[in-house]
Chain A
């Protein structure tokens, strides 16, 4: 008890040196632990997205591009598949196909055209406002809302695909009707619209000023339009009834299709149907693709672990040297203590108490830091991964 009291008094007297030693030791302990937490959370997060997406249907080509576009809404643009692929899965009765159209962006965030089934599938909850209801509605992820400072009642405008394509895709103004609760997944970084709205952005569906009403179309009455008809860039309650689509929906595009099979047997049957290399459509398991990517990334981790170990050994050696040198500097002080009647054991206890106190405080600081990282790892990793996308 006396030794601890004297050690603490000594450390307090030499507070600057004690503080530096404590912080350095705390950092040496904290960095590898925090790195480990962040890396394992990243791995878990990456794999979880893949594991949560049983099957992915898309055009034959790079499986990684397809996975990144459909799961992480990256800038990759895999060749689209037609909605006929969606219908064929429906017709098979083996699973639920969820189209994901990611060809367009707005304010730096990807516009994800999909069906309401996506929200149920990912268990996305509306934090403010309401879900998608009518053509043109947009529901934004939590990060989109925070970054753009936008919310329910504001609008977003789709970015033109090509600045020089003046006759091509028209930008569409979309009202924000809902903001999703944060999930720490790429969904936080997405602008969700009905896939039909994505087709309107693409120019497949459009409204006209004064040509023919949908009522007339459905009734089959004849109407011939004059040539230069202005297309709307905003869907309003006044013009929504004039919006219509050309051609068969089976021919409309989607970037990829998430397929949720009914069971393992259904998944196996479905996979078997797309094995033919001549088939322009492929069905992949995103978990396998992500696992491959993670394995590649985490090969660097072992190198990082070795470097961290070497640095930690070197740092501890440096601390040991510093402590040893401080003992040498305190030789006269120790000699005085011996002359006052302190035995060698007492001196050893005093020095040990100082070292143990320093290390204990360092461990406590490192543990607090690590627990803070662990608590926020999900959101920090989500943010870091979204930077990559």
Chain B
């Protein structure tokens, strides 16, 4: 009986201590999964890294609730992607001292997409410049973002028992290896026209000199008849042999694309984690799929 009471007391104390420790940990909020991955790699277990966008919601266009905003505001560090990735940032109050734009130093490398021109009142015409935002699909830019994250963590003293420099070196090595692997594998796509189901691969295309034309399909959904027609037209125009799927579609969709003479590659854009795999695993898997393509 006494032993049971002691055991129970010890358990209660241990749980309380664990809970208290968890409460003491700094909290880092990220705008997308790649930044969450980088922060987790750099901080190990020294902080709680949270990516608050629910599964199935595009983090670019997520609209946080007041509770979400309150939780974000109270965190110790808010890591943004920049390049216009999180449109909610323009409409939400964030503590600037805790907010870090991880691509602030990469502005000269941004890819400008098409502009939208309109006017209202007597203000004359003006333009909205669009920017490609999926920077991390170029591993060299991902390294730059990771460096920015490491700097923010160090500046705020969030990693007490961790050498962030060592963690960053390991992450940089992994990303450089990924880049080298991608460079080798993408040779397979040299002089090959590619169609992507969504315009997300601008930085990937630039890094590995790929020719990618984009559609505007819904990720993971079965394409409509109109979608197939648009794809057929695009194939005819570009002579494309490869189709990049942002997310795995129904098997039937892949079969239809194959019937049109296209090689299917699921290349997740990784704004969310995919299928329980981490950033490097998902990216490597897509590269391996490309390396294994048998093109005409």
Interface residues in chain A, defined as those with a beta carbon under 8 Å from any beta carbon in chain B: 90, 93, 96, 98, 115-117, 120, 130-135, 137, 167, 194, 196, 205-206, 208, 211-212, 214-231, 240-241, 243-246
Contacts and interface: CB of A to CB of B under 8 A. Distances in A.
Given A130-B66, A134-B92, A223 B116 contact: yes
Given A218-B87, A227-B120, A228-B120, A133 B97 contact: no
Given A115-B96, A244-B128, A218 B60 contact: yes
A115 B122 contact: no
How many B residues touch the partner, as a band? Answer: 35 or more
Q: Is the interface of B mostly helix, strand, loop or mixed?
A: mixed
Nearest to A206: B120
Contacts of A115: 93-96
Interface of B: 60-61, 63, 66, 69-70, 73, 84-85, 87, 90-97, 113-122, 126, 128, 130-133, 155, 199, 216
Given A133-B69, A223-B116, A116 B92 contact: no
Contact of A130 (B70, B85, B115): B70
A231 B121 CA distance: 8
Contacts, number: 124
A194 B93 contact: yes
Contacts of A214: 61, 87, 90
Contacts of A205: 90
A311 B94 CA distance: 58
A245 B84 CA distance: 12
Given A219-B199, A220-B130, A117 B87 contact: no
Contacts of A245: 90
B206 to A, nearest CB: 15
A151 to B, nearest CB: 18
Nearest to A216: B116
Contacts of A211: 118, 120
A117 B94 CA distance: 9
Given A96-B97, A196-B90, A218-B87, A133 B70 contact: yes
Contact of B87 (A90, A215, A225): A215
Nearest to A132: B93
Nearest to A205: B90
Nearest to B84: A218
Contacts of B155: 93
Contacts of B117: 224-225
A244 B116 CA distance: 13
A107 B230 CA distance: 56
A221 B114 contact: yes
A135 B61 contact: no
B216 to A, nearest CB: 7
Nearest to B200: A219
Given A117-B95, A131-B93, A220-B199, A241 B130 contact: no
Contact of A220 (B69, B90, B113): B113
B84 A225 contact: no
Nearest to B130: A220
Nearest to B67: A133
27 contacts: A93-B155, A115-B94, A130-B66, A133-B69, A133-B73, A133-B92, A134-B66, A134-B93, A135-B92, A196-B91, A212-B116, A214-B61, A214-B87, A215-B60, A215-B61, A218-B60, A218-B85, A219-B113, A220-B113, A221-B114, A221-B116, A229-B119, A229-B121, A231-B120, A244-B90, A246-B126, A246-B128
A244 B128 CA distance: 9
Q: Which of B73, B84, B93, B131 is the most central at the interface, judged by chain A CB atoms within 10 Å of its CB?
A: B93
Given A133-B66, A219-B199, A212 B128 contact: yes
Contacts of A212: 116, 118, 128
B118 A229 contact: yes
A218 B130 contact: yes
Contacts of B94: 115-116
Contacts of B121: 167, 228-229, 231
B103 to A, nearest CB: 14
Nearest to B85: A218
Contacts of B122: 167
A93 B155 CA distance: 9
Nearest to A215: B61
A227 B85 CA distance: 28
B253 to A, nearest CB: 22
Q: Closest 6 A-B residue pairs measured CB to CB?
A: A220-B113, A225-B118, A220-B130, A229-B120, A116-B95, A132-B93
Contacts of B126: 246
Contacts of A216: 116
B110 to A, nearest CB: 12
Contacts of A96: 96-97
A260 to B, nearest CB: 9
Contacts of A90: 96
Given A130-B70, A133-B70, A217 B93 contact: no
Contact of A243 (B60, B91, B115): B91
Given A228-B120, A231-B120, 19 more contacts: A115-B95, A116-B73, A117-B96, A131-B73, A133-B73, A134-B66, A134-B93, A135-B91, A167-B122, A196-B91, A208-B118, A214-B90, A217-B130, A218-B131, A219-B199, A223-B118, A241-B63, A243-B90, A244-B128
Contacts of A196: 90-91, 93
Contacts of A167: 121-122
B116 A227 contact: no
A226 B132 CA distance: 26
A38 to B, nearest CB: 37
A116 B96 contact: yes
Contacts of A120: 95, 97
Nearest to B124: A227
Contacts of A194: 93
Q: Which of A135, A194, A217, A220 is the most central at the interface, judged by chain B CB atoms within 10 Å of its CB?
A: A220
Contacts of B87: 214-215, 217-218, 241
Q: Which of A93, A130, A205, A219 is the most central at the interface, judged by chain B CB atoms within 10 Å of its CB?
A: A219
A243 B89 CA distance: 12
